[in-house]
Amino acid sequence: MPICPRGHDSVAVDYCDECGLLIGGPAPGASPAPAAPPGPADGTGTPGGTGEPCPDCGTPRTGRFCEVDGYDFVAGAAVGSGAAVGSGAAPTPPAGDGAAPTPAGDGAGPAPAAGGTAQGWQLVVTADREHHARMRAAADADAPQVAFPAFYPQRRFALGADQVLIGRRSRSRGIEPQIDLTGPPEDAGVSHTHALLVPTPQGWSVVDLESANGTYVNEAADPIAANTPVPLADGDRVHLGAWTTLTLRAG
């Protein structure tokens, strides 16, 4: 089980469940590590830390998105501000031979509303035994086992016209996801800033935000690539953490 710099045991592998310190970070009172040199000129950056401070909160950059407030270093906007991932417009799959594979289902959804964003969608959150079994089978033998919850009532979230952050709330770091998967019961395998739902003219796409345990769509054996929009259709399932499944519903 991970141990934070203050000596607390933590189920979460990124930040301590008890005090919020970065797992593997310097102990309180220790001299801060020097900032790494700036990332590539194109602003894409790579996981591992460039040291570039977030313009909103000053936290050193460790990937594309700020760990505290979700600021997108590539798009130059905070998560939830209404700006889409990438160039500032809602991402769409490339045309031609490079088009993304068509997701399960017939791809039909509600007609786009004014402004090009589909309305009337819902996200249904459930505890999924099949996903839990798949994650346990894929885990290392010495990895801590996350028990399936004895009771988890179905939860529904209405989706509007803006992109929404999926994760777990952290008041110590100012993270307030619109799709808040904080318990009880709580799936500790869900990162605080885990994934992003982005509206498109056809419906929605999901983007993994370099989460610790990955984001899976339907029954795919491998997680989706980080920072890459994957289109979703009515009925598609997004699997997070140890046992959480989110099902997209139209209308």
CATH number of the domain to which 197 belongs = 2.60.200.20
Decide: residue 81, CB within 10 A, 0-12 exposed, 13-18 middle, 19+ buried.
middle
Position 227 scores a pLDDT of: 96
State pTM to two decimals: 0.56
**Any idea which of 60-69, 85-94, 147-156 has the lowest mean pLDDT?**
85-94
Residue 158 lies in a domain: yes
- 136 and 241 assigned to the same domain: yes
Residue 155 amino acid letter:
R
Q: Mark whether 21 and 139 lie in a shared domain.
A: no
Report if residue 42 sits inside a domain: no
Q: Give how many domains the chain has, as a whole number.
A: 2
User: What tokens does 176 get?
Assistant: 């307030």
**Which SS3 state, helix, strand or coil, does residue 194 take?**
strand
CA of 38: how far to CAs of 60, 61, 101, in Å? 11, 10, 35
Residue 157 lies in a domain: yes
Per the domain annotation, does 246 fall within a domain?
Answer: yes
pLDDT over 70 (residue 173): yes
Instruction: Give the whole-angstrom CA distance, residue 38 versus residue 236.
Output: 39
Assess if residue 80 is contained within a domain.
Answer: no
What does the pLDDT read at residue 60? 79
Residue 216 lies in a domain: yes
Q: Are residues 242 and 125 part of one domain?
A: yes
Let me know whether 144 and 239 are in one domain: yes
218 in any annotated domain: yes
Co-location of 30 and 137 in the same domain: no
pLDDT digit string, tens, across residues 39-83: 443 343 333 444 788 887 777 777 776 766 666 776 665 544 433
pLDDT mean across residues, the chain:
74
Beta bridge partners of 185: none
Q: Are residues 125 and 244 in the same domain?
A: yes
Q: In this predicted structure, what is the pLDDT of residue 61?
A: 77
Structure-block tokens of residue 1: 């089980």
Residue predicted with more confidence, 207 or 44: 207
pLDDT of residue 25: 59
Verify that 125 and 236 share a domain, yes or no. yes
What is the DSSP secondary-structure string of 165-197? Answer: EEE--BGGGTB--SEE---SS--TTS-TEEEEE
Query: Is the preceding peptide bond at 201 cis, omega within 30 degrees of 0?
Result: no
Euclidean distance between CA atoms 80 and 161, whole angstroms = 11
* Sheet of 155-159, strand order: 155-159, 121-127, 244-250, 237-240, 215-217
pLDDT band at residue 134, thresholds of 50, 70 and 90?
very high
What's at 159, amino acid-wise? L
Tell me, yes or no, whether 57 lies in a domain. Answer: no
Which structural domain range is residue 1 located in? 1-34
Sign of the Cα pseudo-torsion (12, 14, 17, 18, in order): positive
